[in-house]
Homo-oligomer: A and B are copies of this chain.
Amino acid sequence: MRSLSVGIDIGGTTAKYGIVNEQGEILEQDRISTRAHEDVNQFINDLYDKLMPMINRHGGIGNMKGIGAGAPNGNFNTGTIEYAPNLVWRGIIPMADLMTAKFGLKTLLTNDANAAAVGEMIYGCAKGVKHFITITLGTGVGSGIVIDGKIVVGHDGFAGELGHTIIRKGGRFHKGTGSHGSLESYASATGVRETAFEFLAADPTEPSLLRNYTTEELTSQTVYECAIKGDAIALKVFEFTGEVLGEALANAVMFSSPEMIVLFGGLTKAGDLLMKPTKASMEANLIQVFKNKVRIVYSNLKESDAAILGASALVWS
């Protein structure tokens, strides 16, 4: 029958995996450390030992249509993970081939943001939408671009790195890439924190709840908590973040003209604090022909499930 699929979300710290049915229900899930496995083969062996009993509880290999995996710097064309700075495995890892060989199940791999986009397309708020862009606003900023119902992977499998596009020429330094003014350096959890520090330093006499936190305690979460209490600087941080994000979205809209943009990840907890300035800024930066056409929405997938769902959905799409 092959009515189920396996979804694996490979992150820097852990890999989460689960068995998913076509309705997008995760029937069972678990996790395994990635960081503790310096050798990728050891990782796959340990994953096999934990995942196989789970597969067997759901009808065995013969009931699985395949394995879908999402990973940072995952390449859909080749099934490899290439030079991922956040993973312990260096160089080019032929992850899909290794898993296919070990499990005897066809494995498809893509980058984590593309997997999220597939999840939105199959199970989320982009169901039936042919042209949309998913932006994940987490520790970093990832993106998955869908045109005509297909994920854009480009000639080399690496397309969709909107987080690294330069939005503010000569702007904030990005440690990971050495670039200045990238979207990720502003519109990520890390970026929000840095903006808060900048605003606090720029206006040292203005009272702010944010000043009650140590440098370590101050995170995008604490900025959010202060903002909903009405703290002026915290509110300004989200307004600024939305302004930069909206500029990037406008550029993306003028590129591929999507009908919907789905925002996903930790920062979206900020709700209207982020959504309102983002929408306003996007509209202000669009030329006439694109204005008031593009819906920006927050993902309605549960964050803890979405990565597994998205990865598993590669098998159906």
Contact = CB atoms under 8 A, between A and B. Distances in A.
A220 B169 CA distance: 25
Contact of A154 (B158, B164, B257): B257
B155 A131 contact: yes
Contact of A165 (B145, B157, B251): B251
A240 interface: no
B154 A289 contact: no
Contacts of A73: 289
Contacts of A289: 73, 82-83, 158, 161
Contacts of A293: 156
Interface string A123-135: 0000000110000
A269 to B, nearest CB: 27
A255 B258 contact: no
Interface string A164-205: 111111000000010100000000000000000000000000
Nearest to A163: B254
Interface in A112-131: 130-131
A174 to B, nearest CB: 9
A68 interface: no
A13 interface: no
Contacts of A153: 257
A288 B177 CA distance: 8
A152 B152 CA distance: 11
A165 to B, nearest CB: 4
Interface string A239-252: 00000000100111
A254 B162 contact: yes
B169 A168 contact: yes
A159 interface: yes
A103 interface: no
Interface residues of A, number: 44
Contacts of A130: 155
A293 to B, nearest CB: 6
- Tell me which of A83, A150, A288 has the highest count of chain B C-beta atoms within 10 A of its own C-beta: A288
A152 B252 CA distance: 13
Nearest to A171: B169
Nearest to A130: B155
A82 to B, nearest CB: 7
A216 interface: no
Contact of A287 (B150, B155, B179): B179
A255 B159 contact: yes
A258 B155 contact: yes
Interface string A269-295: 000000000000000010111100100
A147 interface: yes
A148 interface: yes
- Tell me which of A73, A147, A167 has the highest count of chain B C-beta atoms within 10 A of its own C-beta: A147
B82 A161 contact: no
Nearest to A167: B169
Nearest to A85: B288
